[in-house]
Structures are given as C-alpha cells and as structure tokens.
C-alpha cells in the first residue's frame, strides 16, 4: 500500500491550509503597525534627554553631590563609627550596660 490514507490526506490538507493562513496573517496591512498613544511624560523625557537641558544638568549635579557626600562623608563616618564601637570602647554587656575593657596583650616572646 503506497500513498496516504484518506484521513492522512485530509490532515495534510488541513495543515497546509493552516500554514497558508498563518503566513497570510503575518503580512502587515497598510494601517499597521498600530502604535500606542503617546504617553503624558514622553515630552518631558524627550526634553530631559537633550544634550544641554536644564533638568539633565540638575540631575548630574545632584548625582555628583550625592556621590561626593556618600564617598567623602558617609563611608568615612561609618568606618570611624565601626572602629570606635568595636576597637576603642570595648565590649558592652547589653543587660547591665557594663563596659568590659579590652584585654591586655601579653609579651609572648619570652616563653620557655
């Protein structure tokens, strides 16, 4: 027996018709592509992204000032706080508030 059975032929014809329809559906009509309506802030962003806009300069200055404060004030302040809290003050017992002074280091060079 050679060839397709009637059911197989019907199935192949249906698949061919579906493929043709799918390809036809992929073609754009003259009205396409349909673009979404312009958003309310698109004008703002367009003006903001221009090379010499006031907002862009303001944003860069604010960013630069913020980074300067972060790098030159906050990070050093955190380092100093950490050092004072854990290396200068000694350990504090939370329940009583008692400060345990740091242990004295012993000279370990003269062990016999």
* Cβ pair 56, 49 in contact under 8 A: yes
pLDDT at 73: 96
Instruction: Give the torsion sign (CA, 93, 99, 100, 102).
Output: positive
Number of domains making up the chain: 1
Q: Is residue 74 part of a domain?
A: yes
Q: What is the full per-residue pLDDT of the chain (112 aa) written as tens digits? A: 588 999 999 999 999 999 999 999 999 888 888 888 888 788 877 877 888 888 888 989 999 999 999 999 999 999 999 988 877 766 778 788 887 776 777 766 665 5
Q: Is residue 110 part of a domain?
A: no
Q: Is residue 5 part of a domain?
A: no
pLDDT at 67: 96
Buried b (16+ CB within 10 A) or exposed e, 64-92: eeeeeeeeeeeeeeeeeeeeeeeeeeeee
Q: Is residue 92 part of a domain?
A: yes
Q: Is residue 26 part of a domain?
A: no
pLDDT at 37: 85
Range of the domain at 53: 47-102
Q: Is residue 85 part of a domain?
A: yes
CA distance 90 to 76: 21
Q: Is residue 112 part of a domain?
A: no
């Amino acid at each position: 027996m050679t060839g397709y059975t009637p059911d197989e032929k019907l199935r192949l014809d249906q698949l061919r018709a579906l493929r043709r329809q799918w390809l036809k559906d992929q073609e754009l009509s003259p009205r396409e592509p349909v673009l979404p309506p312009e958003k309310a802030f698109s004008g703002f962003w367009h003006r903001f992204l221009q090379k010499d806009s006031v907002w862009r300069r303001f944003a860069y200055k604010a960013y630069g000032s913020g980074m300067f404060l972060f790098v030159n004030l906050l990070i050093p302040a955190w380092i100093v706080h950490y050092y004072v809290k854990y290396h200068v003050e000694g350990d504090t017992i939370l329940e009583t508030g008692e400060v345990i002074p740091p242990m004295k280091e012993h000279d370990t060079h003269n062990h016999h």
